[in-house]
Structure 1
């Protein structure tokens, strides 16, 4: 064979071998993958986590009703609300002096019987004590002029009772005064007739009342003026001498959508609210507007009817952070 022929045959063989290699490579890429190899590739794609998140949904966290109750997470529904500008005032509970009566003997004499003691509840006409008159040496009854509670007693058995000093004090505690301290800067904002919510700070609901009187004279000691609220004392919940807090609503603003201020959390410098869908909570970015001490206007990010974590929402945030940390490993 000539040199030229041998060269042509060699080039043909090289071409055939290159084509076979290319065909083999193409078939290898499209061939079915074996089970072990598929598992290895799948493991790499998922990062090896699978279900190890333990209740952490994609971008959120799962908490069923049992876990919600255990964590004290309270749910509420987003909807229209009212923002209120409020003035908070410290106060002292006092007896309603218009319903307090000092009982004095009609005639001076010796106390022969004591029928009622401090703390006793009395009806109008009940005998408080029996006194022997010094003038006639006969006894007469000292009676309660109103229904109420004996809050003070200044005589004892066998003692001399004088018409110059009250022997008993009876108070009707069904209504009380709450004397609120108003600072100078707030004088123009408080008026007689204002509605005031009194919080005895005993864990119960507030008690509604009205400002009946605003003193024109200030206190030199405290540099405050007195605003007096009259409230009902249902169930004898309040007791004179204890502190209470009064809140006066100065202005109101209705808004289309509001959530509890306690629902707001911050993630990566974003303000979010945790919205529930089934058992899962997802952080929803929100744009907020006006707010008061309890409610926040939501301008964007939520819809009316969305159920969200209103109380102890920080627990949901902590669970979300735990899930994120586990996925990072």
Structure 2
């Protein structure tokens, strides 16, 4: 073999090795060198590399780790009920004959609007029966030619203010009291309000009833609807907390993805108490670490996919 042939063979081999190493590198999970670890005991060497522009397009949201306050809650259930002050059963002032009816079931009426005309039996004079407040006619029992005779002619309700009626069972009584905060939810609607009253339930039921007022101008809290309430029973200050959505299970451990430049590292964490939105972090993170607070599952999926490819 002459020198030219040897040089050509060496160049071909060198090119083959370079290409093979490149292919191997891009098919493996990315690892940081030892010098890149801020904390050798808690930082995972494996990470996802992604540009800030691409992360934004993927809907990735980050935030800094900080101290905070957990709202410890207990769950209760109940229904939306009519505000007693916004329900009226309208009667005629004097017995007599109903000579005219102006309102029907479902009509929206204003305060002072004439609902019906009644002719008094004693004076034989006609007088109006009017709406005590603005609202909706939810029942009508008045017909022309009938006698009023003290019966309810109309029922009117105003649903702009309603109440949450929540069942509190004996094991919860020691934790729940007047003026405690409660978050109500119905489908996608959520509302923060306060327990105003706790009263015995009727018919000797094995629970008491807590009432919380709901502003219902939107109409999203219909009377009779089943609702869920989270009553705040304690407020707990914690040294570090993160959104629950930031936590992922990776390789059998709870992790949070920490952003370092354009690298996202799965960092194992020890967790403590939690509320409906946030969870205490006992160890693994540092104050001011930048973590993925939304869509962190994307990084978990990427690492698992990379590992699966590497195994093969």
Range of TM-score over shorter length: 0.7 to 0.9
Work out which of the residue numbers 176, 187, 191 in structure 2 matches 1:190. Answer: 176
Q: CA offset at residue 104 of structure 1?
A: 0.7
Q: CA offset at residue 242 of structure 1?
A: 1.1
> In the TM superposition, what whole-angstrom CA distance separates every residue of 1:55-89 from its partner, at most 9, and x where no partner exists?
x65423337246523xxx55444222211221111
Matches of residues 254-273 of structure 1 in structure 2 within 5 Å?
A: 254-273=237-256
C-alpha contact (below 8 Å) 1:176/1:232 kept by paired residues: yes
Work out which of the residue numbers 26, 30, 35 in structure 2 matches 1:51. Answer: 26
CA distance in 2, matches of 1:304, 1:234: 42
Secondary structure of 1:290's aligned partner: strand
C-alpha contact (below 8 Å) 1:154/1:168 kept by paired residues: yes
Q: CA offset at residue 137 of structure 1?
A: 5.1
Q: CA offset at residue 214 of structure 1?
A: 1.6
CA distance in 1, matches of 2:181, 2:55: 39
C-alpha contact (below 8 Å) 1:174/1:236 kept by paired residues: yes
Q: CA offset at residue 190 of structure 1?
A: 1.8
Partner of 1:215: 199
- TM-score, scaled relative to structure 2: 0.79
Matches of residues 1-329 of structure 1 in structure 2 within 5 Å?
A: 34-43=10-19, 45=21, 48-52=23-27, 57-58=30-31, 59-61=46-48, 62=50, 64-65=54-55, 68-69=58-59, 74-134=61-121, 138-156=125-143, 158=144, 160-199=146-185, 201-208=186-193, 210-216=194-200, 220-221=204-205, 223-277=206-260, 280-329=263-312
Secondary structure of 2:189's aligned partner: coil
CA 1:195–1:163 in 2, change beyond 3 Å: closer, same or farther?
farther
C-alpha contact (below 8 Å) 2:183/2:230 kept by paired residues: yes
CA distance in 2, matches of 1:101, 1:83: 42
CA 1:154–1:78 in 2, change beyond 3 Å: closer, same or farther?
farther
CA distance in 2, matches of 1:60, 1:159: 84
Backbone CA RMSD of aligned residues: 3.0
User: Mind listing any 5+ residue stretches in structure 2 that lack a counterpart?
Assistant: 1-6, 32-45
Specify which structure has the higher proportion of helix: 1
CA distance in 2, matches of 1:276, 1:110: 80
Secondary structure of 1:206's aligned partner: strand
> In the TM superposition, what whole-angstrom CA distance separates every residue of 1:104-159 from its partner, at most 9, and x where no partner exists?
12234444443333333332211122334455555432111123332322224x35
Secondary structure of 1:327's aligned partner: helix
C-alpha contact (below 8 Å) 1:218/1:226 kept by paired residues: no
User: What count of residue pairs does the alignment treat as equivalent?
Assistant: 289
CA distance in 2, matches of 1:133, 1:154: 18
Q: Which has the larger radius of gyration?
A: 1
> In the TM superposition, what whole-angstrom CA distance separates every residue of 1:250-308 from its partner, at most 9, and x where no partner exists?
11111122112232222222221122345543211222233234321113322334343
User: Mind listing any 5+ residue stretches in structure 1 that lack a counterpart?
Assistant: 1-30
CA 1:251–1:108 in 2, change beyond 3 Å: closer, same or farther?
same
Secondary structure of 2:26's aligned partner: coil
CA distance in 1, matches of 2:289, 2:97: 75
